[in-house]
């Protein structure tokens, strides 16, 4: 009998014992978990079954019918994604009948699909295109095209309804994972489309720009706004001093795009690659993340001294900020007034840095390399010139490949210093819990004058949606919560008791920025590997606390005075707006 991974893991005690069932697939016997769909069971057994609408963790839609299999005793083929698994099932996944049905279903999907793969952002990275090639589809059916206009109303996303195959992954993600539900099926029959109620543009909706829907879309129907042309224009302009900043999550997300093992630290290689593209300087956004921590920790210490208002809630995630402005307008005073790290970095580069170097304020052109689509919205709607362009990790990869730069082959190069000597700051901000951990390290020092005995603050680590902890700071029991994924945020605030916390970190994307909406496409994105890689970088730093960063110490000594000083407030802080009425039907 073939023993599957699950049974082996259960035997090792690595997963809790669960009920198992025996199934026969293509003549081989397997033991897999009960209480799941047949598709999940087949995948658990290591059998590849294609699908265009199913996605790990999302409610199955049964829409594409590409995952059909033969089931002994059943008259018709069954969609394995909606078929519950039953003990003793005999399944065939690769018979001529199954392959033909999948091929016809793919041909029907393509019957009204635009034939513009060459011009599509998803060319060579499209699930529909890949399966079409795998199943040798032919042009046997030609259907009426939808003739819908592209939706270009958003600063973060673009929608091409003609490329939509109605799989509903985006709808389920937006509603169930992110608790926004701004996109939905509209109309009926052939006219069915996915969009915003009353045909509004997605940029005019409650969309918080998190981009999680773009990660699950199997085609080019829903993608990030492509801003590469603006970067090429700036690079070709001799009056521009074009600099890049790199977010922590990006540097550990590139390796597999260049044929290396997932999670490998590509920091120095990426700096080298961007210099080859033509960027004059390349900076580490962690520098600004340390700055954020200095300002946020000072805010927290101030609130502890003044007894509130509590909790202080982090502000570095723009998707969370828009969510809060829309749905929690009565609690905006709880939000930290700190700008996000990319905005702080841009503000420093456009001001103090520009004064000190050959760059001028107006000539400085700051490009942020982010795992995030919401940062595009933030740049356009909030940043007031701090940042000039935001590229997602996916755009960054496209740019490097277009320039024929293979990061894997490059020798690492250090970041450019903002002021003084070049330092590499810890990178834990890219993972859920990283901001809380860094803030606790620094707030502890600010209050007690001593360092947190062990910098590894493990209770806030891990990929769980909600983590809570208490730390004793000079007799104050500082209660913190770390939440990622906006449905988890809604649940956390709805259950009550959140007012009892002193500090709450919120990241919109489940797991934090390593799972950002601008990260490379993959249903099996190696989140844990990326998280471990970032903690590994942190562990190997010679200094691990934001207040020890020599460049940050210099910045305060030479320009800003102290955290939360008037100058720091002017440059590094922001305000919020009540958006609760912005999207009501007129």
The residue with tokens 């919109």 is 508
- Give the list of residues 6+ apart from residue 421 with CB closer than 8 angstroms, or none: 550, 551
Q: Is 483 in the site for ligand SF4 (CB under 6 A)?
A: no
Q: How far is the CB of 214 from ligand SF4 (least distance, A)?
A: 7
Q: Which of residues 23, 67, 68, 180 is near ligand SF4 by CB under 6 A?
A: 180
Q: How far is the CB of 375 from ligand SF4 (least distance, A)?
A: 6
Q: How far is the CB of 63 from ligand SF4 (least distance, A)?
A: 8
Q: Is 359 in the site for ligand SF4 (CB under 6 A)?
A: no
Beta strands in 393-550 (DSSP E): 466-473, 476-484, 503-507
Q: Which of residues 126, 222, 343, 396 is near ligand SF4 by CB under 6 A?
A: 222
Between 190 and 543, whose beta carbon lies closer to ligand SF4?
190
Q: Is 379 in the site for ligand SF4 (CB under 6 A)?
A: no
Q: What phi, psi does 473 have (nearest 5°)? A: -120, 100
Least Cα distance to 296 among 490, 442, 410 occurs for 442
Q: How far is the CB of 462 from ligand SF4 (least distance, A)?
A: 16
Residues 303-322 that bind ligand SF4 (CB under 6 A): 317, 319
Q: How far is the CB of 88 from ligand SF4 (least distance, A)?
A: 34
Residues 158-177 that bind ligand SF4 (CB under 6 A): 164-170, 173-174
Contacts with ligand SF4, 406-425, as mask; x by CB under 6 A? --------------------
Structure tokens at 319: 């998707």
Helices (H) and strands (E) counted in the chain, each on its own, are 20, 17
Q: How far is the CB of 373 from ligand SF4 (least distance, A)?
A: 7
Q: Is 513 in the site for ligand SF4 (CB under 6 A)?
A: yes
C-alpha distances out from residue 194 to 151, 202, 386, Å: 11, 11, 34
Counting residues that bind ligand SF4 (by CB under 6 A) gives: 41
Q: How far is the CB of 106 from ligand SF4 (least distance, A)?
A: 14
Q: How far is the CB of 446 from ligand SF4 (least distance, A)?
A: 25
Q: Is 371 in the site for ligand SF4 (CB under 6 A)?
A: yes
Q: Report strand pairing: 157-159 vs 222-224.
A: antiparallel
The Cα 534–Cα 461 span in angstroms is 11
Instruction: Tell how far CA 185 is from the center of its chain.
Output: 24
Q: Which stretch binds ligand SF4 (CB under 6 A): 36-44, 113-121, 213-221, 547-555?
A: 213-221
C-alpha distances out from residue 288 to 118, 186, 338, 349, 549, Å: 39, 43, 11, 10, 11
The Cα 454–Cα 478 span in angstroms is 16
Q: Are 483 and 457 in contact (CB under 8 A)?
A: no
Between 33 and 346, whose beta carbon lies closer to ligand SF4?
346
Q: Three-class SS of residue 369?
A: strand
Query: Which residue's beta carbon is nearest to the bound ligand SF4?
Result: 516
The residue with tokens 């509603």 is 175
The Cα 63–Cα 85 span in angstroms is 19
Between 193 and 549, whose beta carbon lies closer to ligand SF4?
193
Q: Is the preceding omega at residue 287 within 30 degrees of 0, hence cis?
A: no
Beta bridge partners of 304: none
Beta bridge partners of 21: 32
What one-character DSSP code corresponds to residue 521?
A: P
Between 167 and 304, whose beta carbon lies closer to ligand SF4?
167
Residues 183-212 that bind ligand SF4 (CB under 6 A): 183, 194, 207-212
Q: Which stretch binds ligand SF4 (CB under 6 A): 215-223, 250-258, 361-369, 467-475?
A: 215-223
R_g over Cα of the chain: 25
Q: Is 182 in the site for ligand SF4 (CB under 6 A)?
A: yes
Q: How far is the CB of 176 from ligand SF4 (least distance, A)?
A: 10
Q: Which residues bind ligand SF4 (CB under 6 A)?
A: 157, 164-170, 173-174, 178, 180, 182-183, 194, 207-213, 216-219, 221-222, 317, 319, 371-372, 374-375, 507-509, 512-513, 516-517
């Amino acid at each position: 009998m073939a023993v599957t991974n699950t049974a082996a893991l259960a035997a090792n005690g690595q997963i809790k014992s669960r009920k198992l069932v025996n199934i026969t697939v293509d003549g081989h016997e397997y033991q897999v978990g009960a209480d799941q769909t047949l598709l999940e069971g087949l995948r658990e057994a290591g059998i590849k079954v294609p699908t265009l609408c199913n996605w790990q963790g999302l409610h199955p839609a049964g829409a594409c019918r590409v995952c059909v299999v033969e089931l002994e005793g059943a008259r018709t083929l069954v969609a394995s994604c909606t078929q519950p698994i039953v003990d003793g099932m005999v399944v065939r996944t690769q018979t001529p009948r199954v392959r033909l049905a999948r091929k016809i279903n793919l041909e029907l999907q393509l019957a009204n699909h635009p034939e513009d793969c060459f011009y599509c952002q998803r060319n060579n990275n499209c699930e529909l295109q890949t399966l079409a090639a795998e199943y040798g589809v032919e042009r046997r059916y030609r259907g009426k095209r939808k003739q819908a206009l592209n939706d270009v109303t958003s600063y973060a996303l673009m929608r091409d309804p003609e490329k939509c195959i109605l799989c509903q992954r985006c709808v389920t993600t937006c509603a169930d994972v992110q608790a926004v539900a701004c996109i939905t099926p509209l109309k009926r029959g052939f006219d069915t489309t996915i969009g915003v109620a009353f045909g509004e543009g997605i940029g005019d909706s409650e969309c918080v720009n998190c981009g999680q829907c773009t990660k699950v879309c199997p085609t080019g129907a829903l993608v990030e706004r492509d801003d590469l042309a603006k970067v090429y224009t700036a690079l070709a302009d001799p009056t521009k001093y074009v600099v890049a900043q790199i977010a922590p999550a990006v540097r550990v997300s590139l390796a597999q795009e260049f044929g290396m093992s997932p999670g490998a630290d590509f920091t120095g290689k990426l700096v080298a690659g961007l210099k080859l593209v033509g960027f004059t300087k390349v900076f580490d956004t962690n520098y600004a993340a340390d700055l954020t921590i200095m300002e946020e920790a000072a805010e927290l210490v101030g609130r502890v001294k003044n007894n509130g208002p509590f909790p202080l809630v982090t502000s570095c995630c723009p998707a969370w900020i828009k969510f809060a402005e829309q749905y929690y307008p009565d609690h905006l005073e709880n939000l930290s007034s700190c700008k996000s790290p990319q905005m702080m970095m841009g503000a420093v580069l456009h001001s103090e840095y520009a004064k000190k170097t050959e760059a001028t304020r107006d000539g400085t052109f700051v490009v942020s390399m982010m795992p995030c689509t919401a940062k595009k919205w933030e740049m356009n709607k909030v940043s007031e010139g701090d940042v000039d362009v935001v590229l997602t990790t996916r755009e960054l990869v496209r740019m490097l490949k277009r320039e024929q730069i293979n990061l894997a082959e490059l020798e690492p190069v250090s970041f450019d210093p903002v002021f003084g000597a070049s330092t590499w700051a810890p990178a834990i901000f890219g993972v859920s819990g990283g901001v809380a951990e860094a803030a606790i390290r620094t707030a502890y020092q600010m209050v007690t004058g001593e360092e947190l005995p062990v910098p590894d603050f493990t209770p806030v680590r891990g990929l769980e949606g909600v983590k809570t902890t208490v730390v004793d700071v000079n007799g104050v029991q500082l209660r913190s919560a770390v939440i990622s994924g906006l449905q988890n945020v809604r649940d956390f605030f709805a259950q009550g008791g959140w007012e009892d916390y002193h500090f709450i970190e919120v990241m919109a994307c489940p797991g934090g920025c390593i799972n950002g909406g601008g990260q490379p496409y993959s249903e099996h994105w190696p989140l844990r590997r990326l998280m471990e890689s970032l903690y590994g970088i942190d562990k190997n730093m010679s200094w691990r606390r934001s207040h020890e960063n020599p460049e940050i110490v210099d910045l305060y000594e030479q320009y800003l005075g102290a955290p939360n000083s008037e100058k720091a407030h002017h440059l590094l802080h922001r305000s919020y707006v009540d958006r609760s009425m912005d999207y009501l039907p007129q």
